[in-house]
Amino acid sequence: MMSNPYSYNICSQILSDTDYNSYQISYILAKKENNTIQYQAYAVSKDDPEEMICVIFNNEDSYELHSVAAWDFNVDSYLLDDLENDFMIDYMPLEEHYNFWCTIDEWRDEIDHHDGLQNYLSYCHMNGISKHEIGLLQLGEVDIMDLYQEKNAGYTIIAEMKCGEKAIVLGRRKNNPERFVTWQTYVDRRRGFDVGHYFSDFTHAYDDFEKRSHAMMDNELNEMKYKCHPKKMEQER
């Protein structure tokens, strides 16, 4: 998945202009600093997977190249550590996600950078990187989204009902008089969480979650009925 072709194209140009034109970009991170964006890319030799470099750049005329020891590189100390320090994923192909998912699944109880892990899983959640999507690669089954703990305003999201682009979520917060909340939102969270309904007990909160979910689906069905109504389709011809 290429979220920012600019960074990919610039990094590709840097590699082609140096002695690393046989290297393939694994992923690119981005970080805003002093009104500029710093990119940090990792690339691996197509001839020898043990050969890896890090490319730090702002543009094709300003960059640094650093060798990375293959024995030292791992998802926890590099990717997850960077994601804890204000970096964001700018480019990462699905195959690379698969590799990271396999490693994270294997290291479930040994991950040190927990906030970085949650930031990565949040990226996957909002960008459609799922068990189903990765399964399309036909490289093997793996699923780590059970490790994801989405939070908003101190509440952990414990349930979500999706319908098209919209969603209703149920959140829980310990040691709080209003322990549960329901919000309306979008699947990609582009507008955050809106119109919170707060409850002190689970039963009333879940009833509200169900009610709002049904209302959301009814609205979606009504819109769909209107769009595909024969009279409307004839008018558009």
37: which 2 tokens? Answer: 């964006």
Examine the domain organization and report whether 48 and 73 are in the same domain.
yes
Examine the domain organization and report whether 157 and 135 are in the same domain.
no
Examine the domain organization and report whether 46 and 135 are in the same domain.
yes
Last residue in a domain, options 110, 145, 180? 145
Contact predicate 179/173, CB 8 Å: yes
At residue 114, φ and ψ (nearest 5 deg) are -65, -40
Examine the domain organization and report whether 42 and 137 are in the same domain.
yes
Domain total in the chain: 2
Last residue in a domain, options 100, 122, 145? 145
- Per the prediction, the chain carries an average pLDDT of 92
3-state SS, one letter per residue, for 62-85: EEEEEEEECCCCCCHHHHHHHHHC
Q: What is the pLDDT of residues 112-144, one digit of tens each?
A: 999 999 999 999 988 889 999 999 999 999 999
Mean pLDDT of 3-21: 89
* Structural domain containing residue 217: 151-227
Q: What is the pLDDT of residues 154-192, one digit of tens each?
A: 999 999 999 999 999 999 999 899 999 999 999 888 899
223: which 2 tokens? Answer: 């819109």
The model's confidence at residue 2, banded by pLDDT at 50, 70 and 90, is very low
d(CA 228, CA 31): 45
Examine the domain organization and report whether 132 and 161 are in the same domain.
no
Instruction: Give ∠ CA 78-83-87 in degrees, rounded to 5.
Output: 105
